[in-house]
Amino acid sequence: MNIIKEYYEKKYSKLCVLADTEKCKTTLMRNNDTGQLVVKKVMNKAAFSVYEQLKLIENKNLVKIFDCYMDDDKCIEIEDFINGRRLDDYITNQKLNYNQCIQLTVDICIALEELHKVGIVHRDIQPKNILISNEGTLKLIDFDISRKQHAGQAKDTELLGTAGYAAPEQYGFSQTSDKSDIYSIGIVLKEMCQKSNVSADEKLKDIINKCTQMDPDNRFQNVKQLKDTLLQCRHLEEENNAHISDSANGANKNQIMDRAEKLPPITFRYVVKTIPGFRSGNFLYAMFAILMYGTIIFAFGRTPFNKEYVNVSMYNKVVASALYVTSFIIPYMYLTNIADIARRFPKKTFKNRWLGYVYQIFAGGIWLLVIITLILLILR
């Protein structure tokens, strides 16, 4: 028996078959040691080279690939199980607004940027291959027909893709490229707007039209260019909303809150999964993160217990220790955006972005000054 295959058969227990098609068999598995749910996929050996590269990529909008190996002429791949809904179901059950359609499309671009950097074309961007996790994070999945671009090749050797979403070149006219994925993004964005009854303005219509040009050369040059254009479009929409005459109509707090981007509720699991070191789900990274954070917290928290504060009461030492740790945790949470905390605070807008940076530094400095002052008063 294949040693690697034997190792994984002992490591995971089969729960149920999720799908079994001619091209791929997908099974839900459980890690016997940790209880973690994973997905096992059995595919054609041609997928091995793509998944070998994918397992090296860390990106919040790509499903995490844990490992892959060959078993005879089959590629076996193990990936994270995403608890959530497919984009088509998500749109049906939760009508999106203008900015949500744009943000989801931006997230698709962020995922594809990583793939395109290493020369991988997804070739099957469609709502069924896009999941929205229970924490609200978009995840791109299913790389079964993804391929590496080959310089000098006139066209693909296999005609694959989903009708209605696949670019014209996927039907044998030329070799697929990152611009083929851009075509599919345009179709997905158009579908999101239509199903959510979002009225696309001229700017958004132009973006969709440019994505779906028949000639790849007339589309966006890369997904970064598309992403940047989408972000500009979202910014314009936010500015327009900000200038609606709320004050004249006596807009209340609830109306203003309705405009804000809806973020997932803060739960313990959600917070843990957004902490650097725990985001990938890699056990070794998590152990290293625990060791590192424990060392830092110990270093900050033990300061009030030094010999120089021998005359300070134990109660004051404990309070000062908590403040020391807080002075590290709060800025770190904001800078690394744990639980999307940076997006939860009310934003103060400036015409000049550098003024915004100065404001953030000033506000952060005041926060630290207050904590330091409290520590000094407690320990004196």
- Whole-angstrom Cα distance, residue 38 to residue 330? 33
Which of 80, 97, 127 is a domain's end point?
A: 80
CATH number at residue 55: 3.30.200.20
Can you tell me the distance from the alpha carbon of 188 to that of 324, in angstroms, rounded to the nearest whole number? 48
Q: Are 128 and 86 in contact (CB under 8 A)?
A: yes
Sign of the alpha-carbon torsion through 53, 57, 62, 64 = positive
Q: How many domains does the chain have?
A: 3
Domain of residue 146, CATH code:
1.10.510.10
Taking a C-beta distance cutoff of 8 angstroms, is the pair 81, 40 a contact?
Answer: no
**Amino acid 62: pLDDT:** 93
| 351 and 231, same domain (yes or no) | no
Task: For residues 338 and 293, give the distance between their C-alpha atoms in angstroms, rounded to a whole number.
Answer: 14
Residues 6+ apart with CB under 8 A from 43: 23, 24, 74, 75, 77, 144
Contact call for residues 121 and 56 (beta carbons, < 8 A): no
The per-residue pLDDT for 206 is: 93
- For residues 94 and 220, state if they share a domain: yes
Q: What is the pLDDT of residue 23?
A: 83
CB 223 within 8 A of CB 185: yes
Are 151 and 215 contacting, i.e. CB atoms less than 8 angstroms apart? no
Q: Which of 98, 45, 107 is closest to 70 using CA atoms?
A: 45
* Same domain flag for 60 and 92: no
Both 248 and 117 in a single domain? Answer: yes
Structural domain for 347, as ranges: 268-379
Instruction: Give the span between the Cα atoms of 189 and 276, in whole angstroms.
Output: 30
- Please tell me the predicted confidence (pLDDT) of residue 109: 95
Q: Same domain for 238 and 116?
A: yes
pLDDT value, residue 299: 85
Query: In this predicted structure, what is the pLDDT of residue 318?
Result: 86
**Last-in-domain residue among 215, 237, 259:** 259
What pLDDT was estimated at residue 264? 63
Query: From CA 169, how far away is CA 189, in angstroms rounded?
Result: 20
Residue 308 shares a structural domain with residue 321:
yes
Per-residue pLDDT of the chain (380 residues; tens, 9 = 90+): 567 788 888 889 999 999 888 888 999 999 888 888 999 999 988 889 899 889 888 899 999 999 888 888 899 999 999 999 999 899 887 788 999 999 999 999 999 999 999 899 988 899 999 999 988 899 999 887 876 654 444 444 454 667 778 888 776 555 778 999 999 999 999 999 998 888 888 899 999 999 999 889 899 999 999 999 999 887 665 555 555 444 444 444 444 344 344 556 777 777 777 788 876 667 788 888 889 888 988 888 888 888 777 788 888 888 888 888 888 787 777 777 777 776 666 655 555 656 766 777 777 778 778 777 887 777 76
**Which residue, 191, 226, 259, sits at the end of a domain?**
259
- The reported pLDDT for the residue numbered 248 is 42
Output phi, psi for 119, to 5 deg.
80, 20
Q: What is the rounded CA–CA span in Å between residue 256 and residue 252?
A: 7
Can you give the pLDDT at residue 7?
84
